[in-house]
Structure formats: C-alpha cells, structure tokens
A and B are shown apart, each in its own frame.
Chain A
Amino acid sequence: MFHIYCPYCEELREEEEFHPKGQAHIARPADPEACSDEEWGDYLFFRDNPRGIHHELWVHAVGCRKFFNITRHTVTYEILETYKMGEQPTITAESLANREAQGSVQVAGSGQQTVGASNASVASVKGVKA
C-alpha cells in the first residue's frame, strides 16, 4: 500500500483513504459562450495521458475530505510531491529535464532509461525538500 502525504492533515495516510479525481490544473474557460465546440469539447472530455510526470487531483475522501494535487510518475507510480489547491507544483517535467541538463547526465532516448535517470534526480529533489 502507498502512504500518501495529505497537505491538509499534514501527515502520511493510507492509500485507502484517498480517491484520484483525474488531471489537475484544468481551468474552466473564462467565457464558455465564446468557446468553439472544439475548445469546449477539449475542456470537458480531453485529458493528457503522459508517460512520466503527471499532475493529478486527489481527494482525502476518508479524512479531511479536501481536494489537493499530487505530482506522480505514471511509469514508476512514484509520488514526487503533494500540494494544496491553488498552489503550483515545484516539480514538473521541465524542472526535472533542466536538472538532468545541469547535472550533465546523459539522458538516453529510450523511455525506460530516461525514467531511471529521472529517479536519481527525483531523490535529490526530495532530499532538498525534506
């Protein structure tokens, strides 16, 4: 079982207490009437399905019942960070890519190796945060 850190309860809780609610940071169009059908359809139905870093909305369903965001790696299932509603992630696919570049780590073309390379930098990011 996963332990997930709830930013509102400020502690790690059992995965059983949480529900995933899909992709995070989807802004409702400011003026829905002015949207084309395509824009509105994108907003309602179309979601990203990345291989790698994904920002998701979760709810602490049995607990404080608050929604919050999780940055998760869709291949390794590793949870990189959790943050409250309204906040922006500190770890994104770009920030990890930058770290790779700065550390002059050879990022291989194949997905699997990229994942392995990312994990090292993820560990260092987590170490800094903790």
Chain B
Amino acid sequence: MSEHTATWANVYDVRPKSDVPAESPLAWSYHDSGRPNVGANSRVVMRERAMLGHLILRGGAIVLDDVVRQVLGLPLPARPNSLSLDESGERSIQWLSPDEWLVIVPGGEECELEGTLREALGDAHYAIVNVSGGQTLLELEGDKVCELLMKSTPYDVHPMAFPVGKGVTTVFAKSSLILRRVGETRWELVLRRSFADYLYRWLLDAGEEYAIGVEA
C-alpha cells in the first residue's frame, strides 16, 4: 500500500443555508410538462420528495452494522434486495450490493450524519459518498401503481414476488433506477438526476390511463 493513503476526508455541507437557490432535478419538468391535478378518479398519485440526503455507504457488513445501529438506530439490511425503514418512514437504509448500501435521511441531516459515521468508523476500511445532488426520490401511491410499474419494468412487481420492504436496482423504461416498496400501495423510485425529466414524462404518459396526478 502507498504510504500516502489519505487519513482524512473533506466533509462539507453541499447544501449550505444561503441565498443561492437550490432546485430539484424535476424543477424544469414541472415547468415544461406541467403537473396534472390529483382528482377523485386518480388511481395513482405521484409526489416528489426532493432535496433529501442520500449517502452511499460501502464497507464490510459487520463493521457498518454496528455503527449504523448506534448512529441511526436502524439495522443494516443484510439480505439482498431488502430495505429497513424507521417508524416515521423518513430514514431508510437499502441493500444495493454485498458491500454497498444507500442511506436516505431528511434533507439537511446528511452532512452531520456523514461526520458522525466517519467518527464512529474511525480507521475501519469503508467509504461514504454524499450523492444527494445526483438523485431524487419519487413516491407513487394508489391501487394502480403495480399496473403502471408492470408497463415500465421487466422486474416482477406482483405483490407475491415483491413484498413490502423489498428494494431492487433494475431496468426501468430503458433506463435504470432503484425501485422500492414501502407500503401496501406505496412505492418509491430513486432516480438519477440526468434521467429525472425523461422518467417523469414516461410516468405521466404511462399513468395517463389511471388519471395520474402530481402533488406539489
């Protein structure tokens, strides 16, 4: 190993509270494609939970599990394609690969969380990357969400194959995203920033027959 291994990380708040406006990756899409109203006949309702804190956590499961339980009070999901959520549903950890997890917390908490995790992990072998600016989270709710997803992804989203608390990275509308089921009729899509507009328009188009509405 090189003797010049970095022993410190430059942790800084990527969204400081300042006058500089910050916008969700979908800001332009709302302006350009509009937001269909939620009506009485809307079988699918979409809402964006913008500006959340997303952290990618990499390292050994045993070391990370200890620290994550201690800092977040959530167990690290050890089984493939699983998801742990706290009671409010605002903080979650998802398994992405055998040594990689996605942590989502309310916006503004991520910088402090990253610092706390780094402190607790000490000189363990790990990596934490703040990817908050790179992705956004869309929530779909309604009794026809499954049908909408079936049109968009080859992954089996039937309730028997996709129970609540499961999350996968998969192909979606010729693009890719993270798909997770957080409730009986509630699903979350974690989109990459550069695909957000395309996927938003895809979802509006696919959801038209279910009178999809977008909540502000």
Task: Give the interface of A toward B (CB within 8 A).
Answer: 1, 8-11, 13-14, 16-17, 62-66
Contact = CB atoms under 8 A, between A and B. Distances in A.
B155 interface: yes
Contacts of B170: 13-14, 17, 62-63
A62 B97 CA distance: 11
Given A10-B80, A11-B81, A14-B171, A65 B97 contact: yes
Contacts of A64: 80, 96-98, 100, 169
14 contacts: A9-B168, A10-B80, A11-B81, A13-B155, A14-B170, A16-B154, A17-B170, A62-B171, A62-B176, A64-B96, A64-B97, A64-B169, A66-B97, A66-B98
B163 to A, nearest CB: 13
A27 to B, nearest CB: 23
A9 B166 CA distance: 12
A65 B102 CA distance: 14
Interface in B105-143: none
A14 B154 contact: yes
Interface in B70-102: 80-81, 96-98, 100
Interface in B39-85: 80-81
Contacts of A9: 80-81, 168
A66 B98 CA distance: 9
Contacts of B169: 62-64
Nearest to A16: B171
A8 B154 contact: no
